[in-house]
Amino acid sequence: MVARAQAPIVIKFSHVVAPDTPKGKGAQRFKELVEERSKGAIKVEVYPNSQLYKDKEELEALQLGSVQMLAPSLAKFGPLGVKDFEVFDLPFVFKDTDAFRAVTAGPVGYELFSKLEPKGIKGLAYWDNGFHIMSANKPLHHVADFKGLKMRIQSSKVLDAQMRALGAIPQVMAFSELYQALQSGVVDGTEGVASNFYTQKIYEVQKHITLSNHGHLAYAVIVNKKFWDGLPVDARKILELSIRDATVYANAIAATENTQALEKIKASGKTTIYTPAPAEIEEWKRALMPVHKEMESRVGKATIEAVYKAAGFVAPK
Ligand code: LMR
C-alpha cells in the first residue's frame, strides 16, 4: 500500500470527449481502480469535454506539468514534433480492430512511445476507438461528392492529404469547436466515430453520414515523464496495474459503444446513414491509396512498412 503522506498524490487527467464515450469511460474506470487500490492515497481528477484544455493546449499543459495525464488521439502528435504517429491515419490501412492492435502491441507501438520521452512524455497504453465515418449536408457516395467541401480534420498531415486526395478542403480545428463550426457553416463536413457524433450531437447538424470506415481512431494514454519518474515505486505499481485493467476495459467496450451510438443516431431520424457499396469503397480506395506513398517522407518509409507488416496490409499494385 502507498504510504500515506499528508496530502494524496493528485493526477489531473484531461480529455476532450464526453464522459459517456469509450475514452471517457476508460478514464473513469482508471480513476476508480487507482483510488480503490491506493485507498485514497492517489487521487485521479478526470476533466472531460475540453473543460480544462483544447487539443493543442492539452499537450502543452502536459509538458508543463499543469496536468499529469491525457489520452489524445494519435492524429494529434504532429504539432509536438512526433510525426510518426500519423502513420495510424493512413486511409484503409487497418482491415479491422485486430490489425490495429497487432501494430500497437508490437515494436511499432513501443518505438513510437520511446520517441515521446525526449519531449518529457511517457506513453502508457493505446486505446482503440474504432473506425471513422464521414458526414456532410449532402450525400457522400462517390469521390466526386467531396469536391470543394470544407472538411474538419484533426491536426494530422496524413488526414490533410487524405481530404485533398478526395478533392475536399481540409481544415484543422479543435474537437471542442466542431459542433459550432458545422452549425454555422464554417466547415461543411467532418470525419469521426459514432460515439463522438452522438455525444457531440454532430448528427443534429449533418444531414448525411456515410459508413466508410476509411480511417481509424485511437488514443495514446500519456503521462508527464518527470511526474511519473518522481512517483514512489508502490504508487507507480498501482498506476501501472490500473492502466492495464482500464485499457482492457476501454478496448472491450469501444466497438459496442460505437454500434450503440450509431443506433441512437439512426433512431433520432435526423440524418441519413449510408452504407457504401463495395464498388464505391473501391473507388474511394483508388483515390486514397496514393496518400500512403505521398506521406512516406513525413511519417517514414520504415514505419509505414513495419505497420503494413504487423497489420497484414498488402499495398495494391
Ligand atoms: C477528434 O478530434 O475528432 C477526436 O480526436 C476526438 C477524440 O478524442 O475522440
What residue type is assigned to position 208 of the chain?
Answer: H
pTM exceeds cut of 0.85: yes
Is the backbone of residue 312 left (phi > 0), alpha (psi -120 to 50) or beta? left
What CATH number does the domain located at 133-215+264-311 have?
Answer: 3.40.190.170
Q: Which atom of ligand 1 is nearest to the CA of 191?
A: 3
CATH of 9-81+95-128+218-260, one of 3.40.50.620, 3.40.190.170, 3.30.413.10, 3.10.270.10: 3.40.190.170
- Mean residue pLDDT of the chain comes to 96
- Are 194 and 209 contacting, i.e. CB atoms less than 8 angstroms apart? no
Residues 137-190 have pLDDT tens digits of 999 999 999 999 999 999 999 999 999 999 999 999 999 999 999 999 999 999
CATH 3.40.190.170 in the chain, residue ranges: 9-81+95-128+218-260, 133-215+264-311
Would you state the cell numbers that stand for residue 233, as one nine-digit string?
515505486
Measured distance CA(234)–CA(162) in Å, rounded: 45
Residues 233-288 have pLDDT tens digits of 999 999 999 999 999 999 999 999 999 999 999 999 999 999 999 999 999 999 99
In testing the pocket of ligand 1, which one of 14, 15, 17 has its CB within 8 Å of the most ligand atoms?
17
Query: Where does ligand 1 bind, in terms of residues with CB under 6 Å?
Result: 16-17, 23, 73, 154, 175, 192, 196, 217
Residues 182-225 have pLDDT tens digits of 999 999 999 999 999 999 999 999 999 999 999 999 999 999 99
Which H helix or E strand runs over 114?
Answer: helix 107-114
- Tell how far the Cα of 2 is from the centroid of ligand 1, in angstroms: 34
**pLDDT for residue 35:** 98
Measured distance CA(54)–CA(174) in Å, rounded: 6
Would you state the cell numbers that stand for residue 127, as one nine-digit string?
486505446
What residue type is assigned to position 180 of the chain?
Answer: Q
Which H helix or E strand runs over 240?
Answer: helix 233-268
The secondary structure of 255-300 as a DSSP string is: HHHHHHHHHHHHHHTSSEEE---HHHHHHHHHHHTHHHHHTHHHH-
